[in-house]
């Protein structure tokens, strides 16, 4: 099925965007997963005809093999429609590995602990924790922010231990390389799991080093950050340097919902002049339904990366 233009601009001349991304997050296979919402999303992806599907982490609830098998099967079915890019979330790593690694054992043990921490994700989903994908008009650089309990993610909020994310300096370099290897006119997009903007209901930042991360992404010429983790959809802009960044926070497809919220995902359309983000929320019996979107002029200032 072909593209149908922007759902929030009825009556206007149909517009075919240059690049279309479906941004989903926090599928949480396991008890929180809801079969009809997953099926509804899969069907809608076929109709929306995106250039890529971006999945910003928390595939599982308990990081179990069975949950990862379900996630793998689902991603495979998505992949029949469009290429996808996926990164792990904090629910997708094994806690013991991060604790052992943080205790500071040297050499092999650190490496083994690191491998253990991500072992189920790498076995079932991908060996690559910070992958990138280029499609016509855009490059998406995935950056793993889920490290469990590490020095970088230490926080004063005890219940956030192991939940909060962290952007490592080495991974920023990976993003830089992905951007530099892409077409010079490609929209530069970073995908992380943890939300860099405080959640409206949760009141929580997902990242422990938000300011440094946002500045680094701005310096690399990122136009959009895709994230999840907060389980509440949102669209923000932040000003950094000469370029602002648009932040797409996708809600969750699962039933792990904030009070009064429903399952949701974001549609991201990019043309030469503008970015458009349209949240889709789950309604009964209609299924995923678009709500009013937001448009932003693209920043075409000289890139610094
Ligand atoms: Fe989540
Ligand atoms: Fe999360």
* Domain definitions of the chain by residue range: 19-297
Pairing of strands 264-270, 274-283: antiparallel
pLDDT band for 111, please (50, 70, 90 cuts): confident
What are the C-alpha distances in Å from 2 to residues 47, 224, 282?
7, 25, 23
* Residue keyed to tokens 């029949």: 80
**Residue 152 pLDDT exceeds 90:** no
Q: Residue 177 has what pLDDT? A: 98
Q: Residue 151 has what pLDDT? A: 65
> Which ligand places an atom closest to the C-alpha of 148?
2
Q: Residue 251 has what pLDDT? A: 96
> Which ligand places an atom closest to the C-alpha of 32?
1
CB 59 within 8 Å of CB 71: yes
CA 177 to ligand 2 center in whole angstroms: 26
Tell me the average pLDDT of the chain: 88
Q: Residue 98 has what pLDDT? A: 61
> Which ligand places an atom closest to the C-alpha of 162?
2
> Which ligand places an atom closest to the C-alpha of 160?
2
Cα gap 272→24, rounded to integer Å: 23
> Which ligand places an atom closest to the C-alpha of 255?
1
**Residue 158 pLDDT exceeds 90:** no
Q: Residue 228 has what pLDDT? A: 97
Which carries the bigger pLDDT value, residue 258 or residue 145?
Answer: 145
Q: Residue 36 has what pLDDT? A: 96
> Which ligand places an atom closest to the C-alpha of 25?
1
- CATH class for domain 19-297? alpha beta
pLDDT band for 156, please (50, 70, 90 cuts): low
CB 303 within 8 Å of CB 221: yes
CA 135 to ligand 2 center in whole angstroms: 26
**Residue 2 pLDDT exceeds 50:** no
User: Which tens digits make up the pLDDT trace of 224-236?
Assistant: 999 999 999 999 9
Residues less than 5 Å from ion ligand 1, measured at CB: 26, 58
pLDDT band for 89, please (50, 70, 90 cuts): very high
Cα gap 196→239, rounded to integer Å: 13
CA 99 to ligand 1 center in whole angstroms: 20
Counting Cα atoms < 13 Å in the Cβ hemisphere of 111 gives: 2
Provide, rounded to the nearest whole percent, the portion of the chain with pLDDT above 90: 70
pLDDT band for 17, please (50, 70, 90 cuts): low
- And the tokens for 117? 């921490």
Crossing angle of helices 210-219 and 169-181, in 10° steps, is: 20
CA 303 to ligand 1 center in whole angstroms: 33
pLDDT average, residue stretch 249-261: 92
Q: Residue 241 has what pLDDT? A: 62
Whether the CA torsion 290, 296, 302, 305 is positive or negative: it is negative
CA 134 to ligand 2 center in whole angstroms: 25
Which carries the bigger pLDDT value, residue 303 or residue 27?
Answer: 27
Which carries the bigger pLDDT value, residue 273 or residue 10?
Answer: 273
CA 229 to ligand 1 center in whole angstroms: 5
Q: Residue 125 has what pLDDT? A: 98
């Amino acid at each position: 099925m072909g593209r149908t233009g922007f759902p929030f601009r009825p009556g206007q001349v149909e517009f075919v965007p240059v690049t279309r991304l479906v941004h989903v997050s926090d599928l949480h296979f396991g008890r929180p997963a809801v079969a009809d919402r997953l099926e509804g999303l899969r069907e809608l992806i076929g109709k929306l005809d995106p250039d890529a599907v971006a999945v910003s982490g928390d595939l599982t609830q308990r990081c179990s093999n069975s949950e990862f098998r379900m996630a793998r099967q689902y991603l495979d079915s998505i992949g029949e429609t469009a290429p996808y890019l996926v990164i792990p979330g904090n629910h997708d790593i094994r806690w013991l590995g991060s604790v052992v690694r943080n205790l500071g054992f040297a050499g092999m043990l650190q490496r083994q602990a690191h491998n253990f921490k991500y072992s189920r994700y790498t076995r079932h989903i991908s060996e690559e924790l910070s992958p990138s994908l280029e499609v016509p008009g855009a490059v998406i650089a995935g950056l793993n922010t889920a490290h469990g309990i590490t020095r970088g993610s230490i926080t004063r909020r005890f219940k956030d231990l192991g939940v909060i994310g962290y952007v490592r300096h080495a991974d920023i370099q990976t993003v830089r390389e992905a951007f530099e290897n892409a077409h010079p006119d490609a929209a530069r997009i970073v995908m992380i799991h943890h939300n860099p903007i405080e959640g409206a209901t949760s009141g929580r930042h997902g990242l422990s080093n938000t300011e440094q991360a946002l500045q680094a992404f701005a310096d690399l010429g990122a136009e959009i950050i895709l994230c999840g983790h907060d389980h509440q959809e949102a669209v923000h802009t932040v000003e950094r340097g000469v370029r602002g960044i648009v932040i797409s926070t996708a809600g969750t497809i699962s039933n792990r919902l904030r009070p009064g919220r429903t399952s949701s995902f974001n549609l991201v359309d990019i043309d030469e002049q503008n970015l458009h983000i349209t949240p889709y929320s789950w309604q009964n019996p209609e299924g995923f339904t678009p709500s009013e979107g937001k448009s932003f002029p693209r920043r075409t200032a000289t890139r610094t990366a």
